[in-house]
Structure 1
Amino acid sequence: MASEFHAAIVFAEHRFYGKTQPFGNESYATIQNIGYLSSEQALADFALLISHLKEKRLSFAQNSSVIAFGGSYGGMLAAWIRIKYPHLVQGAIASSAPVFWFFGMPVPEDAYNHIVTRSFVNSGCIEENILNGWTALKNLSSTGQFFSFIQECLEEIFESMAMVNYPYPTNYLAKLPGWPVKVACQFFNSIGEKTDEQYAESMYGIMNLYYNYTGQKEKFCINSITCQDSAYAALGDPLGWPWQSCTEMVMQQCSGGPPNDFFIRNCPFILEGQQSYCLRLFGEIGYTKTLMRPYWTILNYGNKYPTATNIVFSNGYLDPWSAGGWSQKSQVVGSLISIIIKDGAHHYDLRSKHPLDTNSVKEARRLEKTYIKYWLKEAKLKATII
C-alpha cells in the first residue's frame, strides 16, 4: 500500500518497550523512572516524532498527510492520536482496538471469555469435554494451589489461541498451525475412555500444541514469572503492559462460567484483587494502590467521539477483544467507520498479505484503502483552499 501512495513507512517504538528504554537498564528499576510509561507520554512522543521527521529528516514531506496505523493497544493509540492531534494526523486505521473496555463503560466483564468459548465451539470443540477437563484436573491435582496454577496457565492458552486464530501458520504469541483453534479441538473430540486421566490428557494436548507445536522441545516452561515466556514478553517487555494495566489501562475481565463460557467462574471482577496483583509485581519499587486510576482512560480520551473524524475501527468476529471495540457491527457514523471481519482474529487486517487470506479480510483491506484515498484527497483539497 505504501508504494501505491508513494508513502514513507515509519515504525515508532513505544517508550519502555523493546530497545526504547529511557533510563537504560534502570527503566523499570524505580517508580520515578517507570512512572513515565503511559499512553499520554507515548502519544506526545509520536506527535514530536512526526514534527521532527517533517522538519529534519523528511523535509520534502512537510506538507504530506500522515495516516496512523495500529493494532490492539496500538489501535487505541492510532485512534487517540487522531483525536488528540488532528492537525498532525489526517486519519487512522485502528484495528482490534478495545477503546471502550474500561471502567464506566457497559462492556460485560465476562465478554472476553464468552467470545473465546464461541470461537472454540464454532470451530467444532465439544464444550462438555472441556468443562470435564477442568473437573478432571481438579480431581487429579495434589493441592488446590497446583490446580490454580495449571488452571491459570491453561486459561491463558485458550485466550491467546483465540486471539491468534489465523488461517495460516504464525509465530506471533507462539508458533502455531493455521486455524489453531480447530486443530486444538481434536484433543477434546477424540477422547476414548471418559476418565479423569483422559480428560486431563486432552488438556495437556492443547498446552503442548501451544508451547511445542513443532514437537522439537523435550520440555517447555509454563511459568511466565520464571521463564517470561508469556504473551506479555512477546510484546517487547514482560513488565510494560502489566505496568500500564496497573495504572491507566485497567480492564475488568473475568470468567462467568457456564453458560457464558467454559471456564471456571471467577466473576465479578474485584478491583482490590487487581491492586493486590500489582502490589506483588511492583511493590518493591514503590507502587501503591493510589497509582491505579480505573476511570482515567475514559475520562481522558472519552466514551464518545462527537468531534472525531477519519477513523476506521476494524474488529474480527473471532477476536475476544472485539467486545470492547467502538462498534459491534459494521456501520458508518459521520466519518467514523466500523468494519467487522467475519473470520478475523486479532488485528488480522494489519498482517501481511498471504495466499490463504480469507475473502472477508481482503474486503476489509480494500475498504481501508478506499477510505485512506478519500482522506488524502480531502486533506490535499483543504490545503489548496487555505
Structure 2
Amino acid sequence: MVIVFIVNSILFMGRPNDRYGFIRPPVDNTWDESYGEPEEQWFDQRVDHFNKQDNKTFKQRYFVEDSHYKTGGPVFLMISGESEAGTFWLTNMTYMGEIAPKFGALAVVLEHRYYGKSVPTPDLSTENLKYLSSELALKDTQQFALYLMKKLSLEGSKWVVFGGSYAGNLAAWFREKYPNIAAGAIASSAPVEAVVDFMGYAGVVSESLGKECSDNIRKAFIEMETLLKTPEDVIKLRKTLNMCGTFDGKNINNNRLLAFNLMGTISHAVQYNLHLDVICKIMNDSSVGTPLERCAKVLGVNHTKPCDEVNYNDMIKASRNTTIDPKMMERQWLYQACNEFAYFVTTDLVNNPFGHNVPVEFWVQMCADMYDKQFTAQSIQKSVDRTNAYYGGLKPKVTNVVFPNGSLDPYHALSVLHDLNNSTKAVVIENYSHGGDMWGSTPKDTQSLRNAHKLIEQQIAEYIK
C-alpha cells in the first residue's frame, strides 16, 4: 500500500519541492505534457530596489508564449512562487494557458528571485538572503512589466496577473500595490493572512477526513506518543515505522520531527485530495491492526527497504547548505516563512488529529537553527504583524481580484472567502484542493469548478474592457 508515500518523497518540512512546487496537478490528469519548450529569456533586474546607492543587478528568468497573441490583446502574467518557474503554465495544461487563445493574450511566466535560476547572490547564506522578500519580488514584477511593455510594444495591452498559493498572494498584492500596471488578478488559494501558529490547518484536515477517520488518526498519534515513553516501547515504534536504531525517543527535536513528518504526509494528502477514500478505508479497518499499524500502512512503510533516519540535527545540517541548486527551494522558502509569513502548521489545536508533538516552538527553533540565531519568537511575531499591516491581511484594499479556494484545502482558512466589493470576488470550489482551479478543463470537472472558471473568465473580460 503506497497511498501517500509518493507525496512524502517530494516534501521538505511540509512543502513539495519538485517542478510543480506547491500547486499540484490532479493525479488523474489527461493532458499531453510533451509540449514544446519556450525559449529561456532574461531580464537585468536590480538586486535592491529600495537602496538607490546599490546598483547591482542579477539575471531574472522569464518565458513568453506568443502564438495566440493578437496585437492589442491582454498580457497574462503568471507570477511564479517558491519554486523553479514552470513553462507548463503557458500551455493548455493550465487554465491560464487554456483561455489565453480565447482572449488573444500574450502568456508570460516570471521566475521569483532566489528560486530556479534567478538567484541574485553567489550563495544562500543567511546574510545573502536579506534580498529575499515579497516587497522586492513585487517590485521585480513591476520593473519587468515596464521592461516587457517597451521591448514588445505592449503599451496598449492590459495586464492580468495570476498566481497560486504564496504566488496567489503576490498576484493580489501586485494588483493592490501596482494598480496602474495590473488591470486585475486571479489569486488562487492565496493565504493572504499571515499567522504564526497555524493551528487551524489541522482543523480543516480533520473536517475533510470526517469524524471516524480523523478519530482513528488521532488514536494512531496518541499510540505513537505513548510508545515514546519507555525504551522497550521505542523499539516497537521503530519496528512499526521502519526507523533506524539511532532513533531512541530521548531527543525532543527528533520526536517532534517524526510527528511532523507523519502529520505532513497525511495532511498533504488532504491538501491535494489524494485518495482520501482509500486512506480512510484503511484507517477505519480494525482488522489491519492497531491505529498506528494502520497509519503505517497508509504511509507506505516498507520493511524490505532500508530503515528511515529521523534526525533533527541532520535535517538542520542539510538545510544550512548554502549552495545554489535551481531544483531546490527549501532553504529559501523557510527563510521567507520565518521572516514574513510564518504559516507554521502545528498540533496546538485542541482535539486535532495529530497528537501534541508539533508545537509552534518547534518551528521557532528551526528558524533559529537554520539561520544563525537570527529569528526569535518575538521577531517572527513582529514580522507577521508587519506583513498583515502592510498588505491588509484578510481585508486587502484591492479591486478587480478573484480569490478561488478549494473547500478541502487547509489554507483556505487564511484566504478571502467572501466578496470584498463589487469587483473583488471570492469563490469556494467544493471538494477541490490547493490550487485546483489553476489546471486546464477536463471532462471530469465538477459543476462547482466549472462555475468558478466561468466567474474567472467573466471577471477577466471585465478587467480588460
Cα distance, 1:269 vs structure 2: 4.1
The separation in 2 between residues aligned to 1:134 and 1:76, in whole angstroms, is 33
Deviation track 1:53-104 (CA, whole Å, cap 9, x = no partner) reads 1101x21x2210000101110100000000000001000000111112336x
Deviation track 1:13-68 (CA, whole Å, cap 9, x = no partner) reads 100111111124x1x0241x110000001000011111111101x21x22100001
- From 9, 15, 25, the equivalent of 2:113 is 15
The corresponding residue for 1:99 is 192
Cα distance, 1:338 vs structure 2: 0.7
Query: SS at 1:90's partner residue?
Result: strand
Deviation track 1:178-215 (CA, whole Å, cap 9, x = no partner) reads x4222211221222175xxx332211122228xx9xxx
Query: SS at 1:119's partner residue?
Result: helix
The separation in 1 between residues aligned to 2:276 and 2:107, in whole angstroms, is 33
Structure 2's unaligned 5+ residue stretches are 1-98, 228-232, 236-247, 320-324
Mapped pair 1:149 → 2:292: no
Cα distance, 1:267 vs structure 2: 8.4
What is the letter of the counterpart of residue 164 of structure 1?
Y
The corresponding residue for 2:461 is 373
- From 65, 69, 73, the equivalent of 2:158 is 65
After TM superposition, the score normalised by the length of structure 1 is 0.78
The corresponding residue for 1:318 is 408
The separation in 2 between residues aligned to 1:227 and 1:182, in whole angstroms, is 35
Alpha-carbon RMSD: 3.0
- From 276, 279, 291, the equivalent of 2:368 is 279
The separation in 2 between residues aligned to 1:182 and 1:255, in whole angstroms, is 23
Mapped pair 1:132 → 2:219: yes
- Tell me if structure 2 keeps the 8 A contact 1:69–1:92: yes
Q: State the 4+ residue runs in structure 1 displaced beyond 6 angstroms.
A: none
Cα distance, 1:282 vs structure 2: 1.2
Query: SS at 1:51's partner residue?
Result: helix
Query: SS at 1:248's partner residue?
Result: helix
- Tell me if structure 1 keeps the 8 A contact 2:171–2:186: yes
The separation in 2 between residues aligned to 1:6 and 1:274, in whole angstroms, is 46
The separation in 2 between residues aligned to 1:321 and 1:67, in whole angstroms, is 23
The separation in 1 between residues aligned to 2:309 and 2:102, in whole angstroms, is 44
After TM superposition, the score normalised by the length of structure 2 is 0.65
- Report the number of matched residues: 334
Structure 1's unaligned 5+ residue stretches are 166-178, 378-386
CA distance change for structure 1 residues 51 and 219 in 2, over 3 Å: closer, same or farther? farther
The separation in 1 between residues aligned to 2:144 and 2:288, in whole angstroms, is 61
The separation in 1 between residues aligned to 2:415 and 2:398, in whole angstroms, is 16
Cα distance, 1:287 vs structure 2: 2.8
Mapped pair 1:246 → 2:338: yes
The corresponding residue for 1:170 is none
Mapped pair 1:50 → 2:158: no
Whichever structure has more strand as a proportion of its residues is 2
The separation in 2 between residues aligned to 1:265 and 1:189, in whole angstroms, is 22
Whichever structure has more helix as a proportion of its residues is 1
- Tell me if structure 2 keeps the 8 A contact 1:279–1:287: yes
Mapped pair 1:29 → 2:125: yes
What is the letter of the counterpart of residue 371 of structure 2?
F
CA distance change for structure 1 residues 268 and 275 in 2, over 3 Å: closer, same or farther? closer
Query: SS at 1:313's partner residue?
Result: strand
Deviates more, 1:184-193 or 1:12-21: 184-193
What is the letter of the counterpart of residue 278 of structure 1?
C
- Tell me if structure 2 keeps the 8 A contact 1:257–1:264: no
What is the letter of the counterpart of residue 324 of structure 1?
L
The corresponding residue for 1:168 is none
What is the letter of the counterpart of residue 460 of structure 2?
I
Cα distance, 1:362 vs structure 2: 1.6
The separation in 2 between residues aligned to 1:269 and 1:148, in whole angstroms, is 11
Deviates more, 1:200-209 or 1:301-310: 301-310
The corresponding residue for 1:38 is 133
- Tell me if structure 1 keeps the 8 A contact 2:403–2:416: yes
The separation in 2 between residues aligned to 1:350 and 1:80, in whole angstroms, is 18
- Tell me if structure 2 keeps the 8 A contact 1:221–1:227: no
The separation in 2 between residues aligned to 1:5 and 1:131, in whole angstroms, is 49
The separation in 1 between residues aligned to 2:326 and 2:349, in whole angstroms, is 28
Deviation track 1:334-365 (CA, whole Å, cap 9, x = no partner) reads 21101111111101001222332222112101
CA distance change for structure 1 residues 207 and 49 in 2, over 3 Å: closer, same or farther? same
What is the letter of the counterpart of residue 88 of structure 1?
I
- From 429, 444, 448, the equivalent of 1:341 is 429
Deviation track 1:192-240 (CA, whole Å, cap 9, x = no partner) reads 175xxx332211122228xx9xxxx955867693888xxxx99851111
The separation in 2 between residues aligned to 1:234 and 1:16, in whole angstroms, is 9
The separation in 2 between residues aligned to 1:262 and 1:133, in whole angstroms, is 9
The separation in 1 between residues aligned to 2:365 and 2:272, in whole angstroms, is 30
The separation in 1 between residues aligned to 2:258 and 2:326, in whole angstroms, is 21
Cα distance, 1:248 vs structure 2: 1.1
In percent, how many aligned pairs have the same letter? 29
What is the letter of the counterpart of residue 162 of structure 2?
F
The separation in 2 between residues aligned to 1:287 and 1:51, in whole angstroms, is 35
Query: SS at 2:286's partner residue?
Result: coil
